[in-house]
């Protein structure tokens, strides 16, 4: 899940993600057009008609002088000129323009950065209260203007944006405070570093426009201008070069003067659109990834999928809702975090459920096998107990015989109890639930007990069990289980050997381990069967055909016991030549008193 989150966070930083975020921003913008209140500004445009009626761009000074003279009569509060008036030609009209400008209470002239010469300054004779920069800052990837840099610095000269200068003209009481990381306008903090130009997202809307030709036709129509911030600039398609697409332009471009007027309205109405910070967006993505994993941790099946679909819906809807409140959420990183988070959590759940299912199935069949084994193994002592008790009940037996039978019943029921206990222990051992007892005991004592127990069976087949070399050592572990293991090897050796052969027990120390082996001269095992005989319920074909009863579970238990004691079991065998099973167990170095046993 961490990987998913990191991937989403990193992917969210890529150019592609930035472009998708921008497109979604534009889409949301068009979808719910953040509306502006009544504008306190107006565009005073030099359109095609104005230009054709007044001699075209060559006469721009004359056009401006006429326009500003007429405007002055309408008493605007401020005039923002979005044309850089740096050209020194046409001195006569420049003089007329200067005189007209001086009749307007607050004039801001445009300045712009030129690639070579820094700030382009308007003519000195033109009166102004301030200079505002008119750089629009389109997106480098798609040329769309979404924001305006409120501050531009070149060399030692810094200028506020034309729109911010308009705010200073219209609302002189509004405080503008700056710090290295943000600018605070009228108490609203807008994050943005000085070196990044302190960009401000523009809340684009429809702006009123009156052309210079309109006012010339009807000079008495002053209402649109009185007391307003008037943005004067070129709007003619053929002349305005600073045109850019905007989120609401639908393929058409917006002229620079309209962009600045929109930026001014955003500021004047404090209608800011604020992008959430990096930390917030990372936390949002993280929360979504965590929510995805929580869903699949606590639920499964349809409830989980329904909740996951809900989470995705929320992820899609949150940026939309936030946009209405003027908060801009990134889109790609949270969406990736949610989608990938859900996919990863669902996949993980699928595989872990499958694993759990397999385990449950294996457990069930193991349990059935175990029941089968118990039932089978219990039959012989039970038959003995049943038979003896029936005899005792039905006939009047001599006292000696009765005592013998009672003793037999007692011994058999003890064997039964021991068998059940061993079985339960082995079951719990397999499930890792049982703590092995840690007793210390002598190897020779262990061998002796098993030998005594197996001897009656061996005697029946006239098989002597011989002790060859016997190096004694101390073993640590569960004595009862170890006895079970060795006894099983001995009975197998006897079971799978013809009468009048020999079984040999050998114990030899090698380094820190002891090799305890049981060798017989029996039927032997095919090489292909050597691995399989340790599987539960596996019996070789010859064993199945032979007279000896068996369940095929003994060796699997022996192997489990030996491995739980930190050892291993080895087997050497060839058909017809007998077998040798060796338990390799960790031994303690101390040689106990008593010496080797013979």
Which residues are at the interface with ligand ADP (CB under 6 A)? 488, 492-493, 496, 520, 522-523, 525, 533, 538-540, 543, 550-556, 579
User: Considering the complex, what minimum distance in angstroms separates the CB of residue 551 from ligand ADP?
Assistant: 5
262 vs 517 by CB, closer to ligand ADP: 517
Main-chain phi, psi angles of 338, to 5 degrees: -70, -50
Rounded to a whole number of angstroms, the minimum distance from the CB of residue 557 to ligand ADP is 8
Beta pairing partners, 153: 158
b/e map 141-166, b = 16+ CB within 10 Å:
eeebbbbbbbbbeeeeeebbbbbbbb
- Of 212, 177, 253, the residue nearest 81 (C-alpha): 212
Q: CB of 470: closest distance to ligand ADP in angstroms?
A: 20
Shortest Å distance, C-beta 558 to ligand ADP: 7
Shortest Å distance, C-beta 402 to ligand ADP? 34
Please give the structure tokens belonging to residue 204: 């684009």
Residue among 54 and 488 whose Cβ is closer to ligand ADP: 488
Number of Cβ within a 10 Å radius of residue 558: 24
Residue 426 CB partners (closer than 8 Å, separation 6+): 481, 484, 557, 560, 561
**Residue 481 to residue 473: CA distance in whole angstroms:** 18
Least separation in angstroms between CB 457 and ligand ADP: 13
Element (H, E) at 107: strand 107-114
- Measured from the CB atom, is 439 or 459 closer to ligand ADP? 459
- Please tell me the distance from the alpha carbon of residue 275 to that of residue 120, in angstroms, as a whole number: 32
Task: Quickly count: other Cβ atoms within 10 Å of residue 565's Cβ.
Answer: 19
Cα 376 to Cα 554: distance, rounded to the nearest angstrom: 13
Specify the residue, 331 or 496, whose C-beta has the smaller distance to ligand ADP. Answer: 496
Do the Cβ atoms of 94 and 239 come closer than 8 Å?
Answer: no
Distance in angstroms (rounded) separating the CA atoms of residues 400 and 10: 91
Give the shortest CB-554-to-ligand ADP separation in angstroms.
Answer: 3
Nearest distance in Å: CB 349, ligand ADP: 39
Rounded distance between C-alpha atoms, residue 237 and residue 290, angstroms: 52
Please report how close the Cβ of residue 404 comes to ligand ADP at its closest, in angstroms: 30
Cα diameter, the chain: 153
Give 87 or 570: the residue with its C-beta nearer to ligand ADP.
570
Report in angstroms how near the CB of residue 487 gets to ligand ADP at its nearest.
11
Identity of the residue, 233 or 550, whose beta carbon is nearer to ligand ADP in the bound complex: 550
Q: How crowded is the C-beta side of 17, counted as CA atoms within 13 Å? A: 17
CB 529, min distance to ligand ADP, A = 7
For residue 231, give the nearest of 266, 267, 260 by alpha carbon: 260
Which SS3 state, helix, strand or coil, does residue 13 take?
coil
Closest approach of ligand ADP to the CB of residue 459, in Å: 18
Cα–Cα dist 335/318, whole Å? 11
Q: How far is residue 103's CA from residue 584's CA, in Å, rounded to a whole number?
A: 110
| 3-class state of residue 277 by DSSP | coil
Structure tokens at 209: 């426009």
28 and 324 in contact (C-beta within 8 Å)? no
Q: Which two tokens stand for residue 305?
A: 């999928």
Q: Rounded distance, CA 139 to CA 146, Å?
A: 7
> Shortest approach of ligand ADP to residue 454 CB, angstroms?
12
* DSSP string for residues in 74-137: T--SEEEE-S-------HHHHHHHHHHHTTSS-EEEEEEEETTTEEEPPPTTS--SEEEE----
Q: Which residue is nearest to ligand ADP (CB)?
A: 550
CB burial of residue 95 (10 Å; 0-12, 13-18, 19+): middle
Q: Which is nearer to ligand ADP, 245 or 578 (CB)?
A: 578
Residue 411 or 549: the one with the smaller Cβ distance to ligand ADP is: 549
CB 502 to ligand ADP: min, Å: 13
Q: Considering only CA atoms, which of 247, 164, 160 is closest in space to residue 197?
A: 160
Nearer to ligand ADP, 160 or 423 (CB): 423
547 by Cβ neighbours in 10 Å (0-12 / 13-18 / 19+) ranks as exposed
């Amino acid at each position: 899940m961490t990987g998913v989150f990191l991937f989403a966070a990193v992917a969210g930083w890529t150019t592609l993600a930035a472009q998708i975020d921008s497109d979604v921003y534009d889409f949301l913008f068009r979808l719910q057009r953040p509306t502006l209140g009544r504008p306190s500004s107006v565009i005073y445009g030099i359109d095609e008609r104005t230009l054709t009626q007044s001699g075209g761009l060559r006469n721009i000074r004359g056009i401006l002088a006429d326009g500003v003279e007429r405007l002055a009569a309408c008493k605007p509060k401020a005039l923002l000129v979005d044309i850089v008036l740096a050209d020194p030609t046409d001195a006569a009209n420049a003089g007329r323009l200067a005189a007209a400008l001086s009749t307007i209470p607050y004039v801001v002239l445009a300045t712009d950065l030129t690639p070579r010469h820094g700030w382009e300054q308007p003519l000195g004779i033109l009166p102004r209260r301030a200079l505002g920069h008119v750089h629009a800052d389109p997106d480098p990837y798609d040329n769309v203007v979404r924001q305006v840099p409120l501050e531009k610095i070149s060399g030692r000269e810094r200028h506020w944006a034309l729109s911010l200068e308009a705010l200073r003209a219209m609302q002189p009481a509004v405080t503008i405070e700056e710090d290295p990381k943000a600018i605070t306008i009228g108490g609203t903090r807008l994050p943005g570093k000085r070196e990044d130009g302190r960009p401000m997202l523009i809340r684009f809307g429809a702006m009123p426009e009156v052309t210079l030709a309109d006012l010339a036709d009807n000079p008495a129509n002053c209402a649109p201008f009185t007391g307003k911030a008037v943005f004067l600039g070129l709007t003619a398609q053929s002349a305005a070069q600073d045109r850019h697409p905007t989120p609401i332009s639908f393929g058409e471009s917006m002229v620079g003067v309209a962009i600045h007027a929109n930026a001014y309205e955003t500021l004047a109405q404090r209608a800011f659109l604020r992008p959430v910070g990096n930390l917030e967006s990372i936390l949002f993505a993280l929360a979504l990834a965590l929510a995805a994993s929580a869903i699949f941790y606590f639920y499964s099946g349809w409830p989980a999928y329904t909740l996951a679909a809900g989470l995705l819906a929320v992820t899609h809807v949150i940026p939309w809702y936030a946009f209405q409140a003027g908060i801009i959420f990134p889109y790609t990183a949270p969406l990736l975090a949610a989608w990938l988070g859900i996919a990863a959590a669902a996949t993980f759940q699928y595989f872990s459920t499958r694993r759990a299912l397999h385990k449950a199935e294996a457990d069930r069949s193991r349990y059935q096998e175990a029941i089968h084994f118990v039932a089978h193994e219990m039959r012989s002592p039970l038959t003995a107990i049943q038979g003896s008790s029936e005899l005792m009940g039905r006939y009047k037996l001599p006292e000696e015989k009765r005592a013998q039978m009672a003793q037999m019943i007692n011994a058999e029921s003890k064997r039964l109890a021991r068998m059940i206990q061993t079985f339960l222990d082995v079951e719990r051992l397999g499930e890792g639930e049982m703590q092995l007892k840690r007793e210390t005991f002598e190897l020779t004592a262990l061998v002796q007990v098993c030998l005594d127990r197996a001897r009656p069976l061996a005697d029946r087949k006239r098989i002597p069990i011989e002790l060859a070399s016997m190096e004694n050592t101390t073993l640590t572990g569960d004595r009862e289980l170890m006895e079970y293991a060795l006894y099983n090897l001995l009975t197998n050796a006897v079971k799978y050997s013809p009468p009048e052969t020999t079984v040999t027990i050998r114990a030899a120390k090698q380094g820190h381990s002891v090799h305890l082996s049981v060798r017989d001269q029996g039927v032997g095992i095919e090489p292909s069967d050597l691995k399989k005989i340790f599987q539960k319920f596996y019996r070789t074909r010859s064993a199945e055909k032979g007279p000896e009863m068996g369940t095929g579970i003994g060796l699997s238990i022996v192997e489990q016991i030996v491995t739980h004691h930190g050892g291993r079991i080895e087997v050497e065998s060839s058909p017809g030549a007998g077998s040798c099973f060796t338990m390799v167990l960790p031994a303690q170095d101390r040689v106990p008193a008593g010496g080797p046993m013979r």
